[in-house]
A and B are shown apart, each in its own frame.
Chain A
Amino acid sequence: MILAITDVNVVKEAWWLYAIGAFVTLFIISGSLFFAYKAYQRSKELGMPKEHVRKAVVSSVSFSILPSIGIFIGVITMSGLLGIPLPWIRLSVLGALHYELLAVNNAAEGIMASSMTIQDFVTIAFTMTIAIIWGALFTLFMFKKYQKSVVDKATEKKGRTFGPLLFQSVFIGLVAAYFGDAFSRIFGYNVREIVDGAYTGNSTTQYSFVPLIVFVVSFMAMMGFDWLVKEKKVKWLENFQLTFSMILGMTVAVLLGLGGIY
């Protein structure tokens, strides 16, 4: 059945797109609960203390709140061009804000909210969906083999092995890259202009030491909280120390902003 919808603004905010958004949300929640339940059963088989599962739940929920608000701001950023439901769906399933903005830029170069057609909207929606699928496909077809042939071998050796160091090194490389991201902004970073939720192609160079300060404050805060947990035995803090450290770092950014330093 083909309905005669010709106004892109009607499509962008159509009730059935919202219904898909709700469906996607339910799908993610159901899938997550299914795997969490299987893991919980497994923890009982393994005789793991219930405390471990509880700690994993509490720390993960508290940790995820702030970055999730950041992701939601991405929905607002893109809503000018794409309406609410499509960014909602895209950032709920296999989404990441920088990727979505890039995808919009590629599929809709030069398109503004005022000049967008339904064909532009469909093209953007498909581009955003198809191009991000690679990680999921590699996981589908290659992960099992990779786990057996590489991961198991790296972790199964006994005695003095490089296995644990290998993964710690990956973490450290990851953190170092993000330190570089914060530190390098002192010497300049390009801000790409976003109009109606898509890159326009114009950019300006800005300088900021705020991210480095945020990084260092969060680092020091974590050190302080860790001392409280380990030395002063403030056990309840353990699950929240990461969240509190982030809040402190972000608060410093807000305070600097109030002082005119961005």
Chain B
Amino acid sequence: MQDLYREKMHTYGRIFIVMGILVMFLAPTLVWITTGIAPNWARLGAGVFTLSIIFLPGGLIEMMTYSPILGTSATYLAFITGNLVNLKVPCVMNATEICGTKINTPENEVVATVSVAFSSITTVLIITLGVILLIPLRPILNSTVLQPAFNWVISALFGALGYKYFRHNWKLVIAPMVIIIALSLAMPTFVNGNVTILIPVMAILTVLISLFMFKKKWI
């Protein structure tokens, strides 16, 4: 039963990804066709190559790290709607914590899918509303008073979420926190300038340390 549902979701998900990729190319292609001016191929090639050095392995690591958390449908949905690490993944983490579902179960599949779907809808609606109301909103959102709030929205997000995960697993938390504090003291600009690289590194390190503690029966 689970397999049948999952198979179907893989099919729908793959169709959605292909459609999503086609939709992504609509804007640049239409600009090209309408103006008759092609991109500068040399600069395009160089730009794509440079960015892919980071984002090709990054894409693979993201798929491997986040797909178990998201489940089947939500993975396909999230990899087209984007903003994974700063929105979709924490959103699912929060919803599964509230509903008390376990990873890779049919119930978790439902909760994660609903969570990513409604998170995506909220994001596109807010961006669209913002575009419509851009003229009155621009001075408010760009105001120096409100700027610090949105500068540090990610710290607020992971601080709040951190409590939920640290509370249940305090033994697992000690080693990664010691490592990250030491790293921050030794090379602060590397840490805050490369957080996208640091996430998989810290995730792998924490998994290895936890595995060691698990084998020693400390946890």
Contacts and interface: CB of A to CB of B under 8 A. Distances in A.
Interface class of chain B by DSSP? helix
A93 B82 contact: yes
Interface class of chain A by DSSP? helix
12 contacts: A24-B124, A38-B9, A52-B107, A56-B114, A60-B122, A64-B122, A122-B37, A134-B59, A142-B63, A174-B89, A245-B163, A257-B144
B194 to A, nearest CB: 9
Interface in B144-159: 144-159
Contacts of A175: 158, 161-162, 165-166
B160 A177 contact: no
B211 to A, nearest CB: 6
Contacts of B34: 2-3, 5, 11, 14, 16
A152 to B, nearest CB: 7
B110 A43 contact: yes
Contacts of B39: 119, 122-123, 125-126
B150 A165 contact: no
B151 A253 contact: yes
Nearest to B25: A129
B23 to A, nearest CB: 5
Given A126-B44, A173-B204, A181-B191, A92 B32 contact: no
A176 B73 contact: no
Contacts of B159: 179, 182, 214-219, 222, 245, 249
A179 B180 contact: yes
Given A56-B114, A134-B60, A242 B127 contact: no
A147 B72 contact: yes
Contacts of A3: 34-36
B94 A59 contact: yes
A57 to B, nearest CB: 5
Nearest to A42: B110
Contacts of B73: 35, 38-39
Given A138-B59, A155-B103, 9 more contacts: A31-B77, A34-B16, A93-B24, A133-B21, A135-B84, A151-B67, A177-B202, A189-B189, A218-B160
